[in-house]
Amino acid sequence: MAAVPYAYFQRRVVPLAEAKIGIMTHAFNYGTAVFEGIRGNWNAEHQQLYLFRPEDHFRRIMRSARVCRIGLPYTVDQMLKLVLEIAERSHYQEDVYMRPLAYKSAEKVGVRLHGIEDDFLIFITPFGPYLDVTKGIRCCVSSWRRIDDNAIPARAKVTGGYINSALAKSEAEEDGYEEAILLTQDGHVSEGSGENIFLVMDGKLVTPPSSDNILIGITRESVIALAREEMGLETVERSIDRSELFTCDEVFLTGTAAHVTSVAEIDRRAVGGRQGIGPITARLQQLYFEVIRGDNPKYRHWLVPVYAQVAQKMK
């Protein structure tokens, strides 16, 4: 059966092609929306599409909505049922990306959050590799600084705030790099344009704290758990100086889109003085892909299978 994408839009499940908003929609004009990205990872051997930690994504969008005064009258279970219905109806047998989005839906002109109607939607789209995980990527330290939490809240995935990431990403790619690394206003390492960042130093993982304007990533949390439980590695959360990017042993990025991506070069300096992926990054990458594709039973609780009949046969 051929895949046909569906969406949840204006409280109905409809073909994606029918889900349209007007040009006066408040969120379109002012960036007044919050969102999540949920990966669905296809396992051909299992004939199953596994959603990775969808409940955690829904809990986070609920927190984002509270920050931005967007009404979201759905429970985690209700949103999970909707996303499963959309994914199952769409019949994809490849990796996909699912986008829940809560937004100011009224067609009104005026900059504010109060007194504007809200709505919620979900759509699905095929989504292959975002960055090349088979080899280390080239990064630069961006001239754009990470938006401070007092300007646009870092703890919320706000659509309007992603202009910061877009500016940094385009600058990096147009200068010949694959990704940008943004610094905070006071010059500490914050995150990539759409990823959290980890350094490997003296056999430990080091990553910026939430106070350095990072989004607390779900993939980030997963990698910290895998490093601790499967490799016995400690993770230290602390501010990181820019020069530490050039003196550490390994660097990698984590995110729903990026998975676990090794960084081979930063500002034309080889990370760790080596070519290729470092040993700790390589092992974490292997573990992570085993988990998200359903090949590691220990972490099956992080996954929600889409195709119910197949899941029933596997029990």
Of 231, 229, 219, the C-alpha closest to 302 is 219
Fold of 6-126: D-amino Acid Aminotransferase; Chain A, domain 1 (3.30.470)
What average pLDDT score do residues 178-191 get? 98
The predicted model scores a pTM of: 0.94
Predicted confidence (pLDDT) at residue 310 exceeds the cutoff of 60: no
Residue 142 in 3-state DSSP?
A: strand
Tell me the H-state helices in 31-161. 54-67, 76-90
Predicted confidence (pLDDT) at residue 313 exceeds the cutoff of 50: no
Buried b (16+ CB within 10 A) or exposed e, 266-278: beeeebbeeeebb
- pLDDT tens readout for residues 106-124: 999 999 999 999 999 999 9
Going from N- to C-terminal start, the domains of the chain cover 6-126, 137-295
What average pLDDT score do residues 117-132 get? 94
- pLDDT tens readout for residues 199-249: 999 999 999 999 999 999 999 999 999 999 999 999 999 999 999 999 999
Q: How far apart are CA 17 and CA 170, in angstroms?
A: 29
What average pLDDT score do residues 151-157 get? 93
Residue 38 in 3-state DSSP?
A: strand
Q: What is the pLDDT of residue 189?
A: 98
Q: What is the pLDDT of residue 314?
A: 46
Assign 2 a pLDDT band (cuts: 50, 70, 90).
confident
Predicted confidence (pLDDT) at residue 312 exceeds the cutoff of 80: no
Assign 129 a pLDDT band (cuts: 50, 70, 90).
confident
Centre a 10 Å sphere on the Cβ of residue 286 and count the other Cβ atoms it contains: 12
DSSP classification of residue 241:
B
Q: What is the pLDDT of residue 280?
A: 97
DSSP classification of residue 217:
-
As annotated, the active-site residues are 157
Centre a 10 Å sphere on the Cβ of residue 59 and count the other Cβ atoms it contains: 15
To the nearest whole number, what is the mean pLDDT of the chain? 95
- Looking at 3.20.10.10, 2.115.10.20, 3.30.70.1140, 3.40.190.10, the CATH number of the domain 137-295 comes to 3.20.10.10
Lookup: tokens for 12: 């109905």
